[in-house]
Amino acid sequence: MPKIHSLFALIALAASSLHAQGPGETAVEIGISKDVSKKTPAASSTGFSLEQIRADSSGQVADAKNRSGAVFQSFKPGNVWHGQLPGFVPPEIEIGGEDRFFCTDVYEDGPYLYAHYGLDHYRTQVVVVVDQNRHEVLRLTAYSQPNIARLHYDPETEMVYYTIEEANTGEKSNAMLHAFSLTEKKQLWKSDTGTAHGNFLVYGKHIVTHYGFTGEDDFICVIDKGNGKTLKKHKIKTAAGQLIRDGAKIIAPCYEGVVEAKFGEE
């Protein structure tokens, strides 16, 4: 699948609303439920390496939010934290003819854009997935969850991966990665608690996450993409705010300083 154009290039184009997948078509709408699949998920990992190559307690990462994919972040309308809402993304949507939600976040991850809608940043109830032609290819409602912090759609496996806790906030018991099958419409797996919140990086057979709260040990974790098992917890000095993919390198801007690591799959 071709790589999506830079968000900044898209914003520079003439503004237009999102449109459906094709003439007369509508985007697929699926509700993320807590129902659990009866299938036993198989491991996908055949080996990996994660090696810390730099830790600088006074270091900083320029343009960290943009480099992590963030385009627009706000608490609610009128309280913008970062960027601006792209002109082609509706500022609010209506679900079921009753519920109206505001767009609080837009980010890019791989070939898609993701737009979050909810009552505020910490209560996302709808995620709209948009392709490079501004087609709305998937609309996910998440009334079964208190929030969607970050989400990734994999069209080849028809899976979505998501976290429900924002970075450095919330409860440890909710700080995990979830995998939801769009074909079964059920949860396939969830990782151990205390392994994932905020954004994460999806690779071919693994997912790299971060976790950390004040007063607790902080980690970069490697999760098996197939079954959600924690394969490694690499301890870092202070909690990461987000993860940035930079070729084979992972950059983690932290509460104090920055950590860099090399990640590879076998």
Q: Is residue 98 over pLDDT 50?
A: yes
The whole-angstrom separation of Cα 153 and Cα 159 is: 6
Give residue 242's pLDDT.
Answer: 95
Angle at the Cα of 171 from the Cα atoms of 123 and 209, rounded to 5 degrees: 85
CB 197 within 8 A of CB 122: no
Q: What is the DSSP letter of 174?
A: G
- 228 located within any domain: yes
21 within domain boundaries: no
Q: What is the pLDDT of residue 23?
A: 41
Q: What is the percent of the chain with per-residue pLDDT over 70, rounded to a whole number?
A: 89
pLDDT digits (tens, 9 = 90+) for 104-124: 999 999 999 999 999 999 999
Each residue's pLDDT tens digit, 169-210: 778 889 999 999 999 999 999 999 999 999 999 999 999 999
- The reply to whether 167 falls in a domain is yes
Q: Are 53 and 204 in contact (CB under 8 A)?
A: no
Whether residue 134 lies inside any domain: the answer is: yes
Which range marks the domain in which residue 93 is found? 7-15+27-34+42-265
pLDDT at position 150: 98
Total Cβ atoms within 10 A of residue 78: 7
Residue 251 in domain: yes
Task: Give the count of domains, the chain.
Answer: 1
In single-letter form, the type of residue at position 105 comes to: D
In a domain, 1, yes or no: no
Angle at 178 (CA atoms; ends 117, 260), nearest 5 degrees: 90
Q: Is the pLDDT of residue 20 over 60?
A: no
Tell me, what amino acid is at 229? K
Overall residue count recorded for the chain in this entry: 266
Instruction: Judge if pTM exceeds 0.95.
Output: no
Q: Is the pLDDT of residue 6 over 70?
A: no
In a domain, 20, yes or no: no
Partners of residue 100 on adjacent β-strands: 94
For the chain, the 3-state helix, strand and coil shares in percent, each to the nearest 5, are: 5, 45, 50
In this prediction, residue 181 carries a pLDDT of 97
pLDDT of residue 172: 87
CA 146, distance to chain mean position in Å, is: 15
**pLDDT at 14 > cutoff 60:** no
b/e code 123-151 from CB counts within 10 Å (16+ = b): bbbbbbbbbeebbbbbbbbbeebebbbbb
The residue behind tokens 């519920």 is 99
pLDDT at 169: 73
pLDDT the model gives residue 182: 96
Percent of the chain scoring above 90 in pLDDT:
82
SS3 205: coil
Mean of the per-residue pLDDT values of the chain: 90
Q: What is the CA radius of gyration of the chain?
A: 18
Q: What is the pLDDT of residues 21-56, one digit of tens each?
A: 544 455 678 999 999 999 999 999 999 999 999 999
Q: What is the pLDDT averaged over residues 236-247?
A: 95
Q: Place 213 in a pLDDT band, splitting at 50, 70 and 90.
A: confident
Give the model's pLDDT for residue 201. 98
The answer to whether residue 22 sits within a structural domain is no
For the domain that residue 144 is a member of, what is the CATH number?
2.120.10
Strand partners, 80: 74
Given a cut of 80, is residue 230 above it in pLDDT?
Answer: yes
Q: What's the distance, Cα to Cα, between the start and end of the chain in Å?
A: 23
Residues 6+ apart with CB under 8 A from 38: none
Residues 69-83 have a mean pLDDT of: 96
SS3 204: coil
What pLDDT, on a 0 to 100 scale, did the predictor assign at position 171?
82
pLDDT at 138: 95
Helices (DSSP H) in 40-172: which residue ranges?
64-67
Helices and strands in the chain: count of H runs, count of E runs: 2, 20
